[in-house]
A and B are shown apart, each in its own frame.
Chain A
Amino acid sequence: MIDRKLAPDFKAIDNINLIRPEYKKLDNGCNVYCFNSGDQELVRIEWVFNNLRFDPAKPLLNMAVNTMLTEGTSTLTAAQIADKIDFYGAFLQVDYAYENSQVTLYSLNKHLPHTLPVVLDILTDSVFPEKELETFKRNQQQKLQVSLQKNDVVARRDFNKAIYGNTIYGLGATFDNYKSLQRDDLLAHFKQMYQPSNCTLIIAGKIEPDTLTLIKDTFDKSWTNGSIPANVSQPDIQPAKELFYFTEKPDALQSAIRIGLPVINRNHPDFQPLQVLNTVLGGYFGSRLMANIREDKGYTYGIGSGLGSFKQGGSFFIATEVGADVCKAAINEIEKEVNLLKTELVPNEELSLVRNFMLGSLLGSLENVFSHADKFKSIYFAGLDYDYYDRYALTVKNITSAKLKELANTYFNFDQFYKVIVGKY
């Protein structure tokens, strides 16, 4: 008979092997990083650009230009672009984030001769046709109307505005922002931003020598820099003075809560230790916030905390949606859990669980060659090197409960937290 009460032996995770890229620089200044691995005959290619400096008078340009890259060039209509890509079973995505915008192509290797020229065309010759721009503006405003009915969305907007102020991180787009988009502004923005010297090309998958030659031939000679270099500096963040924001929704069944504050970013030595503290509090399913507020009290379907890291700064936040009648009670419990970290040591049992969970998570996040490229992006765009991950593993393995308590006292002052509530309070 087996003893089912007894857990099987387990091993701690020692080695985490990250695939590092090969580096090349094209003559036009574009940096190229290659991750060659995998059995499937396919690649993911990303063209990543730094966003231009945030202009409060025209706050949506970075987003609008990126989103509209697939809407037409001087030789291809939006429909033709979509047709060409879809016909070859490829996927072409545009993604806008606070600091970077990118174009991603997923393609079977055999179809690259047909799919790469489409990407070159949109990167060099997008024209943002007037009709498509009007469609974009109108549809985005309709989507905004829907989003603004969602309490969690409103809470996130209010929170970001409070802690990041008038920067790209704090922007909550308004109807007027969309209405004021002008084609000429998009074109000028496009010309300055989408040039090879402002681009990092990241290739992951099965990279044959032919593949690389094809990419180089397509994106070196035919792609040149413009006369004005990209201005990618960003204004400083000025958090708001007011800490408390409540938007009442009389019919709400649930209230969205978002609580937190600006903190250090990835480049600070306390960041990784703080990631451990965050995990204890709200960073995994078994976290203290989940254990208390979902699994013990049943106030919510989910609650979590997280750390954001940007070039200009970072943030810590706790987010949840709770029954409208238990909103105050939930906030009290959140406060209790935050303060407990400052007064009591995290027990060894719990800390060892968190250590193993975090290392397992890191290992598990390396599913395929694309994930290795993603790990690279996180450090590369923060200006860090691979020893960041070595330090991460060491920190997770060795951090003490005393250090966690010290961190909580340094960074977590609940009275100084920004608190946003949308619903009932």
Chain B
Amino acid sequence: MVKFNRFTLDNGLRVIVHEDNTTPMAVLNILYDVGARDENPEQTGFAHLFEHLMFGGSVNIPSYDEPLQRVGGENNAFTSNDITNYYITLPSANIETAFWLESDRMLSLAFSEKSLEVQRNVVIEEFKQRYLNQPYGDVWLKLRPLVYKQHSYRWATIGKTIKHIEDARIEDVKAFFKKHYTPQNAIMVVGGDVKLEQVKQLAEKWFAPIPAGEKYLRNLPQEPEQHEERRETVTAKVPLNDVYIAFQMGARLDDDFYAVELLSDVLSRGNSSRLYRSLVQDRQIFSEVHAYITSSLDKGMFVLEGKPLENISIEQAEAALWDELEKVKSEEIPADELTKVQNKTESTMVFAEMSLLDKAMNLASFELLGDAEMLNQETSKYLEVTTGQIKEVANKIFRRDNSSTLVYLAEKTESALA
């Protein structure tokens, strides 16, 4: 149970306060309701590049990191297809520094050309390090456009191509800031060794003077239902073959989300899960195999991935994955197996309460979904799922004409022996 209070400033900024006096630290987390899905198809990777620029100095404060480190604080941020999230942890005695820094960059950035030029290079190196210079690193660059044809989830947060990042101009940066970085589009969570009244007063002082800006109304083309089997095979400089099968699934707020997530746990959570036990241990088809969902705010992906052993053909590997999918489609899973994944989810929620930062981020995410209080109702939603519902969602999702299969074939070169 995560207790909290909340209030909204006149400019539309939503503020959530979670008092936790067991720590000498405080957290200030700001979620901006903007992600890669809000980008122009000709300027992809922009939300993420912008996240880097948020550290390049704001209108009144030339350096963001330096004053924070000076008061013993640390910060970081991440961008997803749906959101951009910034967080600070610092000794609670110095919480006002966090208000000062975050409010100034919500007010306005410095928009320095030098910062843009450097961060363009940094992001290009990030593109290379994480997506291009790694075996299988480009999987999301290939899989997303296979699964999505209309929706802006068809590109990854890093962007479609390095060219889009190279082309970013300072005018684009300014326009993006004006459109998305307003108090109305943000949710702030302050947690830890703080008091509600203190947070109210600091929020009024530092954030209330920021103009409300214009409300961004999202109107994205939604992805139509898939009715044909899709497939792509790439030959690449990778050491092993690799098979991905991705299915379209519902959105985060759909009623059957909880059943779908538990279905992915049944298939792949831990060493007692079906895919590991059947396909790694018993039948010896894969060296590793995984199933997971993307939990996207719009229509998401249910992904299966496995690296077949060297004596196994791609056809055998795919057939083995489908065997397991057919089982959950044709027979209800035993009640014990459902209880097992439910218990695991329940204890994971309890363990998550050990981390102040996790609590703050979760509160922000659920407030974005509609109500932070949903965090405290999550466990019961998982516990309500029935074996019948699991079978139902399996049949809904695991259809051949809802699948996108991506195969990596290892290019035969001399292997790099150590």
- Contact surface of A with B, Cβ cutoff 8 Å: 2, 4-5, 7-11, 13, 38-42, 70, 78-79, 81-83, 85-91, 106-108, 132, 135, 138-139, 142-146, 148-151, 154, 157, 172-175, 251-254, 284-286, 294-301, 321-323, 352-354, 356-357, 359-361, 363-364, 366-368, 370
Chain B positions within 8 Å of A81 at CB level: 271
CB–CB A356/B90 < 8 A: no
Given contacts A10-B71, A298-B120, contact A148 B416 (CB under 8 A): yes
CB–CB A142/B287 < 8 A: yes
- Measured in the bound complex, the distance between the Cα atoms of B280 and A90 in whole Å is 22
- Contact surface of B with A, Cβ cutoff 8 Å: 22-25, 59-61, 65-67, 69-74, 89-91, 93-94, 96-97, 99-100, 103-104, 107, 117-126, 128-130, 132-135, 205-206, 209, 237-240, 269-272, 277, 280-281, 284, 287-288, 307, 309-310, 336, 339-341, 343-348, 350-351, 353-357, 415-418
- Measured in the bound complex, the distance between the Cα atoms of B124 and A254 in whole Å is 11
CB–CB A135/B280 < 8 A: yes
Nearest CB in chain B: distance from A389 CB, A = 15
Nearest CB in chain A: distance from B300 CB, A = 25
CB–CB B418/A88 < 8 A: no
Given contacts A7-B97, A145-B415, A367-B355, contact A360 B129 (CB under 8 A): no
Chain A positions within 8 Å of B240 at CB level: 142, 145-146
CB–CB B354/A10 < 8 A: no
- Measured in the bound complex, the distance between the Cα atoms of B356 and A39 in whole Å is 13
CB–CB B72/A359 < 8 A: yes
- Measured in the bound complex, the distance between the Cα atoms of B348 and A201 in whole Å is 23
- Measured in the bound complex, the distance between the Cα atoms of B125 and A423 in whole Å is 14
* Pairs A–B under 8 Å by Cβ, sample size 26: A2-B209, A9-B96, A10-B71, A11-B94, A38-B22, A70-B271, A78-B271, A83-B272, A87-B343, A89-B343, A106-B351, A139-B280, A146-B239, A173-B418, A254-B133, A297-B118, A297-B121, A298-B118, A301-B123, A356-B69, A357-B70, A357-B72, A360-B71, A360-B72, A364-B25, A366-B24
- Measured in the bound complex, the distance between the Cα atoms of B205 and A9 in whole Å is 15
Given contacts A82-B270, A138-B309, A298-B119, contact A157 B91 (CB under 8 A): no
CB–CB B281/A79 < 8 A: yes
Chain A positions within 8 Å of B121 at CB level: 297-299
Nearest CB in chain B: distance from A173 CB, A = 8
Interface of A is mostly: mixed
User: Which 4 pairs between the two chains have the least Cβ-Cβ distance?
Assistant: A360-B72, A298-B121, A89-B347, A82-B272
Residue of A nearest to B122 (CB): A298
CB–CB B128/A79 < 8 A: no
- Measured in the bound complex, the distance between the Cα atoms of B284 and A20 in whole Å is 47
Nearest CB in chain B: distance from A216 CB, A = 24
Residue of B nearest to A90 (CB): B347
Q: How many A-B residue pairs have CB under 8 A?
A: 229
Residue of B nearest to A152 (CB): B129
Nearest CB in chain B: distance from A218 CB, A = 20
Q: Which of A10, A82, A108, A142 contacts B93 (CB 8 A)?
A: A10
Given contacts A70-B271, A135-B280, A143-B287, contact A40 B353 (CB under 8 A): yes
Residue of B nearest to A287 (CB): B69
CB–CB B72/A13 < 8 A: yes
CB–CB B343/A296 < 8 A: no
Chain B positions within 8 Å of A367 at CB level: 23, 25, 354-357
- Measured in the bound complex, the distance between the Cα atoms of B137 and A208 in whole Å is 47
Chain A positions within 8 Å of B122 at CB level: 294-295, 298, 300-301
CB–CB B128/A323 < 8 A: yes
- Measured in the bound complex, the distance between the Cα atoms of B277 and A82 in whole Å is 10
- Measured in the bound complex, the distance between the Cα atoms of B97 and A138 in whole Å is 53
Given contacts A364-B90, A368-B355, 17 further A-B contacts (CB under 8 A): A8-B97, A10-B70, A11-B93, A86-B271, A87-B339, A172-B418, A174-B417, A294-B118, A298-B119, A321-B129, A356-B70, A357-B70, A360-B72, A360-B90, A366-B23, A367-B23, A367-B357
CB–CB B129/A301 < 8 A: yes
Chain A positions within 8 Å of B346 at CB level: 89
Given contacts A139-B287, A364-B74, contact A148 B69 (CB under 8 A): no
CB–CB A368/B354 < 8 A: yes
- Measured in the bound complex, the distance between the Cα atoms of B287 and A272 in whole Å is 43
Nearest CB in chain B: distance from A6 CB, A = 9
Chain A positions within 8 Å of B130 at CB level: 301
CB–CB A363/B100 < 8 A: no
- Measured in the bound complex, the distance between the Cα atoms of B124 and A322 in whole Å is 11
CB–CB A7/B67 < 8 A: yes
CB–CB A149/B239 < 8 A: yes
Q: Which of B91, B129, B209, B347 contacts A363 (CB 8 A)?
A: B91
CB–CB A356/B287 < 8 A: no
Nearest CB in chain B: distance from A72 CB, A = 11
- Measured in the bound complex, the distance between the Cα atoms of B310 and A89 in whole Å is 35
CB–CB A8/B96 < 8 A: yes
- Measured in the bound complex, the distance between the Cα atoms of B60 and A155 in whole Å is 42
